Amino acid sequence: MMTGQGSYMAPAGGNPAVAVVGQHFMAPYPVDLNIVRKMLTISEGNFGVTDANGNIMFKVKGKLLISLRDRRILLDAAGNPILSLQQKLMGVHRRWEVYRGDSKDLKDLLFSVKKSSLLQFKTQLDVFLASNTSEHHCDFKIKGSWFERSCTIYAGNSTVIAQMHRKHSVSSIVLGKDKFAVTVYPHVDYAFIVALVVILEEINEDRSSED
């Protein structure tokens, strides 16, 4: 089911089993995650991810390099680094590369993400596993509207593996928080999905740049 650089395959049920970060981040049932983005702070740890019961599952912190958006680290609840998300500024398409742990070594590259096209009215991102060096076809695709927090993640171009939608609450508005939910389908790596959502946010918050 999984290689050193991530993979997906179709099990007997027909739905894809996705293990990009690790099989221990997979469940045989849908996983509902709540993601809270603090909009009024630039401090580290501006993303928090909880399960349906409010238990912290992941945290995201930034590395203050050239800009606040250069690098993100996905941590587990205990603060251990799971993934390093690095923005690559070379080329016409701005690209995010994701490495295992806190690494920046090419051998630890798991996948990369870029816009499907330079000009878009709706969000469309292409995701390539590290093993897909030709990039003739993407391994995963993200489509939807970030403004409405309504996006769908597909394996290939057609099989849904996760969906995102906004969660409204009075406390979220008062506290300056943007809260949205992600439903991760059974047998899908939810650490991988969280990393995609973080990159989706970064790319859409950086629209004023020429990427």
Mean pLDDT of 175-186: 77
Question: Residue 178's pLDDT band (boundaries 50, 70, 90)?
Answer: low
Place of tokens 């019961």: 53
Q: Is residue 84 part of a domain?
A: no
Question: Residue 4's pLDDT band (boundaries 50, 70, 90)?
Answer: very low
Q: Is residue 64 part of a domain?
A: no
Total count of domains within the chain:
1
Mean pLDDT of 174-179: 54
Instruction: Print the domain residue range for 173.
Output: 7-48+112-205
Q: Is residue 23 part of a domain?
A: yes
Distance CA 183, CA 181 (A): 7
Residue 181 has pLDDT above 60, yes or no: yes
Q: Is residue 94 part of a domain?
A: no
Q: Is residue 181 part of a domain?
A: yes
Confidence (pLDDT) at 165: 83
Residue 42 has pLDDT above 50, yes or no: no
The domain spanning residue 171 has which CATH number? 2.40.160.200
Q: Is residue 78 part of a domain?
A: no
Q: Is residue 129 part of a domain?
A: yes
Within 13 A of 177's CA, how many CA atoms are on the CB side? Answer: 18
- The answer to whether 202 and 69 have CB atoms below 8 angstroms apart is yes
> pLDDT tens digit string along 109-124?
999 999 877 665 677 8
Q: Phi, psi (5° rounding) for residue 37?
A: -110, 120
Q: Is residue 16 part of a domain?
A: yes
Tokens standing for residue 42: 């630039």
Confidence (pLDDT) at 158: 85
Distance CA 63, CA 111 (A): 20
Q: pLDDT: is 23 or 117 the higher one?
A: 23
